Amino acid sequence: EQRNPAQPEFHQAVHEVLETLAPVLEARPEYAEPGLVERLCEPERQIIFRVPWTDDHGHVRVNRGFRVEFNSALGPYKGGLRFHPTVNLGVIKFLGFEQVFKNALTGLGIGGGKGGSDFDPHGRSDAEVMRFCQSFMTELQRHIGEHTDVPAGDIGVGGREIGYLFGQYRRITNRWEAGVLTGKGPLWGGSLIRPEATGYGNVLFAAAMLRRRRGEDLEGQTAVVSGSGNVAIYTIEKLTALGANPVTCSDSSGYVIDDKGIDVELLKQVKEVERGRVDLYAERRGASARFVPGGRVWDVPADLALPSATQNELDADAAATLIRNGVKAVSEGANMPTTPEAVDALRQAGVAFGPGKAANAGGVAVSALEMAQNHARTTWTAARVEEELSGIMNAIHTTCDETAERYGAPGDYVTGANIAGFERVADAMLAQGVI
């Protein structure tokens, strides 16, 4: 903490991983090599830069840009960009640290990184977002590349922003280098199913946990989902497709409960087309839905909870309510949405708990498939990508489950995910020497 002051999210993420590694450090003495764990916790490179841009009134605005290139032992740095006013170095480092283990778990050749800016896209015009993205990329372009560092989207960065970023990269470098960014549009190098992949993948992971731990499937299970962005929308879509009943969505203003189940087409119209808030969904939907200002979805009784908004959104209080209401599984679509106290409470109550670095790895996995398609200059069908995604999510589930069992913690996906991710990165780092 002295070395990295004022970075509570980063400390939380590192602490959560290190406290589960004791069994593997004991069992495999080569990992106790001095400096290995220290090197894992220190990013290879951290870039902080000025992002000046002009708003629609001609005023110059200045934001701060970040790219943390955390670990490239397994492949090029890979991880999203987040545009949100809460972004700072500690937030990006926590996300980059998580990304290293998550990417390792996918079994694909990708290292870990993360970036973003404290820019707030809410209420900004398209032209302002474009000028911001162009300024951001004018600096970022010198640090990234298809074999170096491959950013993608995250909170506040979707298809529109990736388009502006890619356009500026292409203009400055004069290269058609599709593999430098993922989450692109399907006409210009994007993979089908990439927008859906994180949400779909999380539902597949939750289904695998339910099957393994309780012998149940998703049919007829009520689910609470938080958020209403990319991850939440496609989580709701997949839950519905597999026979579950997602009854909530939310944003920072409150949540919607819909007794008939969220109508995903209406939600897409409100969020993706009109860029509105969730209260507009409730207004349009009619009698079955109502908006609860300032409330939290965790108060709604459900069999499953899929937090899909942001870090530390599900605290001990919320966990106690979920447990009281008989929740069977919690699967993290967002990164670190569950506080450490809440994770402990859920695990002690026997709730199946899927940590984000396993459960939401479907997004980055399909990003790696997008890179593969770009390198081969080809496009796979949606059906093929979905089949690959399903195989990857089931493999991640099995890896976490078996690793947890092997290290004496059966059913503990947190321990399983952390150890399995650690083993892959650590083995690659040891083989490559002290660098």
Q: Is 61 exposed, middle or buried (0-12, 13-18, 19+ CB in 10 A)?
A: middle
135 sits near ligand NDP (criterion: CB under 6 A): no
CB atoms within 10 A of CB 16: 20
Chain residue whose CB lies nearest ligand NDP: 229
Q: Which of 135, 230, 373, 403 binds ligand NDP (CB under 6 A)?
A: 230
Angle 118-122-125 from CA coordinates, rounded to 5°: 110
Q: Which of 123, 20, 4 is nearest to 412 (CA)?
A: 20
Site string for ligand NDP, 276-315 (x = CB under 6 A): --------------------------------xxx-----
- Alpha-carbon 145 to chain mean position: 21
What gap in Å lies between CA 386 and CA 94, rounded to an integer? 29
Nearer to ligand NDP, 24 or 81 (CB): 81
Minimum CB distance to ligand NDP, residue 57 (Å)? 23
Nearest C-alpha neighbor of 255 from the set 294, 302, 311: 294
Helix axes 413-431, 89-105, angle to 10 degrees: 90
**What tokens were used for 105?**
């778990």
Sole window of 38-46, 61-69, 153-161, 240-248 interacting with ligand NDP (rule: CB under 6 A): 153-161
Footprint on residues 359-378 left by ligand NDP (CB under 6 A): 360, 363
Catalytic residue list contains 114: yes
Find the catalytic residue in 114, 238, 328, 357: 114
Q: Is 102 within any annotated ligand binding site?
A: yes
Q: What are φ and ψ of residue 369, in 5° steps?
A: -70, -35
- 251 or 303, CB closer to ligand NDP? 251
- Which residues lie closer than 8 Å to 152 by C-beta, 6 or more apart? 78, 79, 80, 81, 162, 181, 182, 183, 363, 364, 367
Q: How far apart are CA 113 and CA 78, in angstroms?
A: 5
230 vs 399 by CB, closer to ligand NDP? 230
The reply to whether 116 sits near ligand NDP by the rule CB under 6 A is no
Angle (CA) 163-165-170 rounded to 5° is 95
Task: Rule CB under 6 A: say whether 237 interacts with ligand NDP.
Answer: no
Check the annotation: does 390 bind a ligand.
no
Least distance between ligand NDP and beta carbon 199 (Å): 8
Contacts of 395 (CB under 8 A, 6+ apart): 107
Give the x/- contact pattern for ligand NDP in 167-206, rule: CB under 6 A: -------------------------------x--------
Which is nearest to 117 in space by CA: 101, 139, 98?
139
- Does residue 338 touch ligand NDP according to CB under 6 A? no
Residues annotated within a binding site: 78, 99, 102, 153, 198, 230, 367
Residues annotated within a binding site for substrate: 78, 99, 102, 153, 367
Which residues make up the interface to ligand NDP (CB under 6 A)? Answer: 84, 86, 153-156, 158, 198, 227-232, 251-252, 308-310, 333-335, 360, 363
Residues with a catalytic annotation lie at: 114
